[in-house]
């Protein structure tokens, strides 16, 4: 069974939140502009009319919006709601509440209940508040802390890349090489790991020197066996 939103009751308590808070506060302005009735009409169809009473849709929707606005966890937004009168007024309360509105698991249940389409509906209503101002021509994304699939080049990586390219070129032209050094390159790659560590720095330096030597051997062999133009094109 779905409970009514507190703001739907005509009588107010002595400690009326709206009368004591700053009417120009951003959350109150957002609450007044937001189309809560549309969400309640849409989401009420997802509830049963029998059984234990559920939390008001205005409350649960408001908690989800506050969670995203202030980048809070489920537990944190519930605790902040208990202490912050503006959070409570945003969610439709008319008197200050000293107890938690719900447990964090109920937010998860509510998200599952409304599904992806419900979340998209909330987002669409938020966009409508800004009209054309929300339609940005250019989107700037800060990726300074975003994980990237990037690896920085080192002398070892470049040498191995050259060797692999030379072996591939020889195979494409059907050239029979004296050696491909494939097994040795695998061992040298392992020796080059953690090349900045003091204990393996000398080993890594010798491995890099050997890789450069192998690259030179393969390059000179292809210079002898391949047409000059074919090598230049690569």
pLDDT digits (tens, 9 = 90+) for 61-104: 999 999 988 999 999 999 999 999 999 999 988 888 889 999 98
Query: Residue 15 — pLDDT band, cuts 50, 70, 90?
Result: low
Is residue 141 domain-resident? no
Question: Are 159 and 119 part of one and the same domain?
Answer: no
Q: Report pLDDT for 146.
A: 56
- pLDDT tens profile 23-36: 888 888 888 888 88
**CB 44 within 8 Å of CB 62:** no
- pLDDT tens profile 193-232: 877 888 888 888 999 999 999 999 999 998 888 876 666 6
Question: Are 13 and 80 part of one and the same domain?
Answer: yes
Supply 51's token pair. 């059984």
Is residue 72 domain-resident? yes
Which percentage of the chain shows pLDDT scores above 90? 25
3-state secondary structure of 134: helix
Domain boundary (82, 99, 133) is at: 133
Question: Are 105 and 191 part of one and the same domain?
Answer: no
Rounded to 5°, angle at Cα 45 from 41 and 50:
120
Q: What residues make up the domain containing 168?
A: 155-233
Question: Are 82 and 169 part of one and the same domain?
Answer: no
Kindly tell me if the per-residue pLDDT of 173 is higher than 60: yes
Q: Report pLDDT for 98.
A: 87
Is residue 149 domain-resident? no
Is residue 91 domain-resident? yes
On the CB side of 25, how many CA atoms lie within 13 Å of its CA? 16
Report the Cα 199 to chain-centroid distance in Å.
38
Which residues pair with residue 16 across a beta bridge?
95
Which residues pair with residue 54 across a beta bridge?
2
Q: Which residues contact 214 (CB under 8 A, 6 or more apart)?
A: 159, 163, 181, 184, 185
Kindly tell me if the per-residue pLDDT of 192 is higher than 80: yes
Is residue 147 domain-resident? no
Question: Are 19 and 127 part of one and the same domain?
Answer: yes
Question: Are 121 and 161 part of one and the same domain?
Answer: no
Per the structure, the count of domains in the chain is 2
Integer Cα distance of 94 and 6 in angstroms: 7
Query: Residue 12 — pLDDT band, cuts 50, 70, 90?
Result: very low
């Amino acid at each position: 069974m779905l409970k009514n939103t507190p703001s739907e009751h005509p009588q107010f308590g002595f400690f009326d939140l709206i009368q004591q808070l700053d009417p120009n506060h951003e959350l109150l302005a957002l609450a007044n502009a937001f189309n809560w009735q549309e969400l309640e009409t849409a989401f009420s169809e997802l509830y049963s009319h029998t059984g234990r009473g559920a939390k008001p849709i205005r409350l649960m929707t408001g908690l989800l919006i506050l969670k995203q606005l202030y980048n809070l966890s489920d537990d944190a937004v519930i605790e902040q709601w208990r202490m912050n009168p503006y959070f409570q007024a945003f969610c439709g309360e008319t008197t200050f509440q000293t107890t938690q509105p719900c447990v964090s698991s109920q937010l998860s249940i509510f998200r599952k209940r409304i599904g992806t389409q419900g979340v998209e509906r909330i987002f669409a209503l938020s966009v409508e508040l800004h009209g054309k101002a929300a339609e940005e021509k250019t989107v700037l994304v800060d990726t300074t802390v975003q994980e990237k699939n990037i690896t920085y080049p080192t002398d070892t990586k470049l040498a191995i890349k050259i060797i692999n390219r030379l072996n591939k070129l020889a195979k494409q032209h059907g050239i029979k090489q004296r050696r491909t050094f494939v097994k040795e390159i695998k061992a040298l790659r392992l020796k080059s790991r953690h090349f900045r560590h003091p204990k393996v720095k000398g080993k890594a330096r010798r491995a890099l020197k050997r890789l450069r030597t192998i690259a030179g051997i393969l390059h000179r062999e292809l210079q002898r066996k391949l047409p000059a133009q074919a090598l230049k094109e690569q």
